[in-house]
Structure 1
Amino acid sequence: MKTNRPSHTYALLLVLVAAVTVFACKKEDDALTSLARELSNYKFSYVQSGSAVRLNGIAYEDTTLTYRGFAVSLTGAASHEVVVDAVIDPSLVASYNALYSESNPSFDTSSFKVSYNGVFTIAANATTATDSLFIKLKSATRLKDSTTYLVPVRLTARTGEQVATSIVFFKFFVAATSVDVYMNGADYFSYYWAYNRSGSLYYPIYFTRDENGKITGPESLSFSSFARTRLKSQEMHVYAVTNVSDSLIKAFSASTGYSYQAFPAGTYSLAKNKATIPANAYLSSDSVKVNFTNYEAFETGKYYLLGLQIVREPTDALSAPPAATTSFNGFALVSFYVYP
């Protein structure tokens, strides 16, 4: 008698073949799909802010202004003490942008840090760590001013427990102010003093000759400096050079409506070219100084101009740059005029 194979055996064989085929063809999720799967519908971010003061591009006074703590938790009570590590993962920024159609900028790993060194302890029989997770500004040197950064943080339990939230997003707004300086004041001479004109510290001095035809003027003038933003923990240096260039003379003449010419050679010299603004101060503690001599070289009835210009010394990291809001900011301009 002929025996037929049961139909259910054949059906089972087809199912096994199909299962093997599907398993063999399955691919790993790409980074974007993996992130979407891990986040599910979670798109909440915690907003914080910080500020910094920059001198020549280097950030000082990095300060976290506002904090928003996140509770580090497990899905259930811990059977023993559990340590959770929180690590900033900049690589998630691009995936987040693609997933949610945003344009958050990238950042360097040296820019931010996690509170409590990224280590959070959950006691036995507890579900949440005592300390809260938040982000701190570490260095704004490589960050843009007035910019919001997305800072993703990954959380992982060292002994394999399931954390309630494996990725936390922070939105961190950074404001960075750059230091610059300008000439602030000068010695008083006779009845004349410096004042602001055309965006610079302007010091006009007028002379008359005595009965012997001699002019008596100041032997020197000293000029102090002022920082528009102070560095609380670091002093700054202000350097100056003399300037009698044609471009300066022409520009100032055009701005004032008077015809100036350069101080004659041999009538001035820079006696002190550096001043210091102490830490946590706006005003310099000393001054740059220019000497004057050979007054006989100044002709009657002519306006003479000498520029004392703040410059950045490239070999000194603490050399503050001049303010540049107008054509003559960072200058002290000295004018001599001899009455007929």
Structure 2
Amino acid sequence: MKKKISLVFHLALALLLFGLISCKKENLGPLEDISKDISQFPSSITGEATATFVGLKVIQSVTNAAPYTQVQLKDVTSSPVKVKAVIDTTLFPYYEELYQVKPISFPKDAFKIRNDGILEIEAGKSISTDSLFVDLNNGNGLLPDEVYVIPLKFSIESGNGEVKGKYAFLKMKVKAVYIVGRMDQFSTEKNFSKYYDRFAKYIMGGFFNTRMNGVDDASKNVSMAVKLMQSINVDVTAEAIEDRSLVSLDFFNKKRNAKSKLLPEGSYKIVKNKATIKANQWSSQDSIKVEIDYDKLEATIGNETYVLIMKIDNSSDKELLAPDTVEMANRAFIEINHKIIDTKNIISNDGLTGKDIDRSKWTATSSGNFDTETTASKVLDGKGDTYWRSPRVMPQDITINMGDSKLVKGFSFTPQYNDSYDDFREVKVYSSQDGQTWEFQGYFLAGSVYWDSSVEKPDIKTLRFINPVEAKYFKFQVMDASNGITAIAEINGKE
């Protein structure tokens, strides 16, 4: 019985000793070494670096504040000792085990230790006077605004000594700066106006095209440069594409108080879709170019215009310029106000001769008037200081009933001089025998009123029919006026 108890006791003791030995061996593994070593070095708090991006490509990596650490030996050295440090990402699992945080992996060339990782400890000292610094070497492949753990492993490069700790973990926060681009000013084009807003970053402009008897008077091409938020030391290319989103269209209409619709597909062509900003320049010397095909457009009326929206984009090539989307800064809005005018049977302000038509049977009616003092009948009262004035909505029309059918050579129109902005620049002319069925005679383009004219010396505008028109009724539909309000003092006719 005693032998059996003794055997059990010795067996238990052997198992206990084996367990202790096993535990001791486990505690002496890398995890225990690392946990001791990381407290051996005076080191920095998290360092900071900046990666400058063009698209998704980093073009510049700058260390703002390098993380650092000193190196310590177990004993004072009698002669100089050089210590070598390397970045060793195989230590990541130990860091995760110690801190319960998984480090973010990074490319091999992302970080670099200064001086090839060599640090010298002077004779008679156990700790280095200088520190090992780690810099951002290449930000490509790094996640912006993340903190990276950089594991270091130390070894003796030369001399006699033993490092007190073989491992250290430094940290570096990598911030991102994106070189963004925006549309720059339009080039000067014929009949193209720029809309300025001193606080806006987007750009706006538009063509005012009048197709007169089949001939356009505005340019078909428009060019836009591209601008960077800051100059950099490499060439940068920007790409532009059309933007057909309703969000952008709504943005434009609210800014312009317009009723624009998107320029129809097929009515424009992007002739050149890329522009390059040369190194150390702010703006491109070449341009994005677009061509408008007016043949594909119907006439616009009032503030119902077309708009083509272009934007800088880098979706097709991630290494192209990133767009500045703040306040639509990466967009250009090109408005198209397209009028189609066929003067047909009308010649404007080019001589009108003949006999004055008796106006005693004439009556005048209009689509509306501004107030009770400016009714249509005023155009027939023979006074230059009274006039018909329309409401502030175009178009507006005034109709003359001559009482009898006449063979008419043309009409003359006397402007009003109470308000220099109320006129009748563009007029559609119709004729009728019964006041119900109307025949379009063409456009009368009166133009602006001469600035030096007056009630005493009026700038009378004349409309002459190429082929005299026989009719009882004539309707003059005013399509455009300087101030959005039309006004006419007198209308007379020639036969």
Normalized against structure 2, the TM-score is what?
0.55
Q: Relative to structure 2, which stretch is displaced further, 159-168 or 82-91? A: 159-168
Q: Which residue of 1 aligns with 2:104?
A: 106
Report if the CA contact (8 A) 1:260-1:304 is conserved: yes
Q: Which residue of 2 aligns with 1:307?
A: 309
**Cα-to-partner distance string for 1:178-206 (whole Å, 9 max, x where unaligned):** 23322121113447115469863221333
Cα 1:44–1:114 shift into 2, 3 Å? closer
Q: Does 1:188 align with 2:188?
A: yes
Match of 1:28, SS? Answer: helix
Cα 1:33–1:142 shift into 2, 3 Å? same
Mapped to 2, the partners of 1:35 and 1:128 lie a distance apart of: 19
Q: Which residue of 2 aligns with 1:261?
A: 261
Deviation, structure 1 residue 287: 0.9
**Cα-to-partner distance string for 1:187-233 (whole Å, 9 max, x where unaligned):** 134471154698632213334565x5744112321101122354x33
Cα 1:183–1:205 shift into 2, 3 Å? same
Deviation, structure 1 residue 289: 1.1
Q: Does 1:28 align with 2:26?
A: yes
Mapped to 2, the partners of 1:44 and 1:266 lie a distance apart of: 65
The amino acid that maps onto 1:82 is V
Cα 1:127–1:259 shift into 2, 3 Å? same
Match of 2:152, SS? Answer: strand
Q: Which residue of 2 aligns with 1:82?
A: 81
The amino acid that maps onto 2:168 is V
* Superposition CA RMSD, Å: 3.8
Report if the CA contact (8 A) 1:104-1:149 is conserved: no
Q: Which residue of 1 aligns with 2:134?
A: 135
**Cα-to-partner distance string for 1:228-280 (whole Å, 9 max, x where unaligned):** 354x3321111223445667546644675532223356643222221001123
Report if the CA contact (8 A) 2:41-2:69 is conserved: no
The amino acid that maps onto 2:132 is L
Q: Does 1:324 align with 2:322?
A: no
Mapped to 2, the partners of 1:219 and 1:61 lie a distance apart of: 41
The amino acid that maps onto 2:114 is S
Cα 1:89–1:24 shift into 2, 3 Å? closer
The amino acid that maps onto 1:57 is L
> What pairs up with 1:269-308 in 2 under 5 angstroms?
269-294=269-294, 297-301=297-301, 302-308=304-310
Report if the CA contact (8 A) 2:228-2:283 is conserved: yes
**Cα-to-partner distance string for 1:301-323 (whole Å, 9 max, x where unaligned):** 13011122323263x56421323
The amino acid that maps onto 1:27 is K
Mapped to 2, the partners of 1:284 and 1:325 lie a distance apart of: 20
The amino acid that maps onto 1:223 is M
Cα 1:278–1:219 shift into 2, 3 Å? same
Q: Which residue of 2 aligns with 1:202?
A: 204
Mapped to 2, the partners of 1:298 and 1:157 lie a distance apart of: 82
Q: Which residue of 2 aligns with 1:170?
A: 170
Residue segments in structure 2 that go unaligned for 5+ positions in a row: 1-9, 340-478, 480-495
Mapped to 1, the partners of 2:37 and 2:308 lie a distance apart of: 68
Mapped to 2, the partners of 1:72 and 1:27 lie a distance apart of: 27
Match of 1:116, SS? Answer: helix
The amino acid that maps onto 2:311 is Q
Match of 1:239, SS? Answer: strand
Mapped to 2, the partners of 1:67 and 1:265 lie a distance apart of: 54
The amino acid that maps onto 1:142 is G
Report if the CA contact (8 A) 1:81-1:122 is conserved: yes
Mapped to 1, the partners of 2:128 and 2:17 lie a distance apart of: 44
Match of 1:279, SS? Answer: coil
Mapped to 2, the partners of 1:155 and 1:256 lie a distance apart of: 66
The amino acid that maps onto 2:233 is S
Match of 2:89, SS? Answer: coil
The amino acid that maps onto 1:320 is L
Mapped to 2, the partners of 1:100 and 1:181 lie a distance apart of: 42
The amino acid that maps onto 2:305 is Y
Report if the CA contact (8 A) 2:67-2:171 is conserved: no
Residue segments in structure 1 that go unaligned for 5+ positions in a row: 1-12
Q: Relative to structure 2, which stretch is displaced further, 122-131 or 42-51? A: 122-131
Q: Which residue of 1 aligns with 2:155?
A: 156
Deviation, structure 1 residue 85: 1.0
Deviation, structure 1 residue 58: 2.3
Match of 1:27, SS? Answer: helix
Mapped to 1, the partners of 2:163 and 2:132 lie a distance apart of: 14
Match of 2:131, SS? Answer: strand
Cα 1:86–1:206 shift into 2, 3 Å? same
**Cα-to-partner distance string for 1:22-68 (whole Å, 9 max, x where unaligned):** 54774323543332233468785444221111123222210111246
The amino acid that maps onto 1:147 is E
In our comparison, the structure showing a higher alpha carbon Rg is 2
Normalized against structure 1, the TM-score is what?
0.76
Q: Which residue of 1 aligns with 2:48?
A: 49
Mapped to 1, the partners of 2:137 and 2:83 lie a distance apart of: 21
Deviation, structure 1 residue 17: 7.5
Cα 1:169–1:65 shift into 2, 3 Å? same
Match of 2:37, SS? Answer: helix
User: How many residue pairs were aligned?
Assistant: 322
The amino acid that maps onto 2:194 is W
Report if the CA contact (8 A) 1:183-1:332 is conserved: yes
Q: Which residue of 2 aligns with 1:335?
A: 335
> What pairs up with 1:66-81 in 2 under 5 angstroms?
66-67=65-66, 69-81=68-80
